[in-house]
Amino acid sequence: MKKLSNFIVVCTCGLTLFMVLLIYLIVSIGYENVVGQRAEKHAKNIADMTFNSLYQIMRKGWSQKDVAEFLDGNRKLFSGTNVNIVIFQSETLAARYGRAYDVSPDQHVKDVFKNGITASLRTGPVIRHIYPLVATSECLGCHANSRSGEVLGVIDSRINIAEELKETR
């Protein structure tokens, strides 16, 4: 009789421990997915806001100095945060105006330049939204060496969620 009661106690404790670990795992994975989805939306919103700001500057007849100030302002705004934004220029713009960034585009950015399709991806704890800047007829007034539909630039908005995930574990 004593062996049976010990067996029941051990099985109950083991099953309870297993259930607690299983619930913890499910909640952790769920939370990580929610944080990732929220960061994905945030990265998209930042890319959209960056595009809208850049577009307004360009519509007013911006200069290279205006663009440099805009890019510097973006760097300062997000310094010390988990957000990083890089605006890449096409070869067409770089040939005419010079490079405005010091980071080489990776394959994902090159793919967006090539196909002109927005990309959202996650690499480890880094959520990225890569947004193409496609030339319209309005752009051709200043960017005469470009053609309508050409990708003139790419906004790469990155959010690192590692710290947020670490805090919850």
Number of domains in the chain: 1
This prediction's pTM: 0.79
The answer to whether 155 and 89 are in contact (CB under 8 A) is: no
| pLDDT-based confidence at residue 7 (cuts at 50, 70, 90) | confident
Structural domain including 8 reads 2-168
What CATH number has the domain bearing residue 102? 3.30.450.20
Residue-wise pLDDT for 11-70, tens only, equals 999 999 999 999 999 988 888 888 888 999 999 999 999 888 888 888 887 777 777 788
Smallest CA-to-CA distance from 85 within 120, 129, 55 is with 129
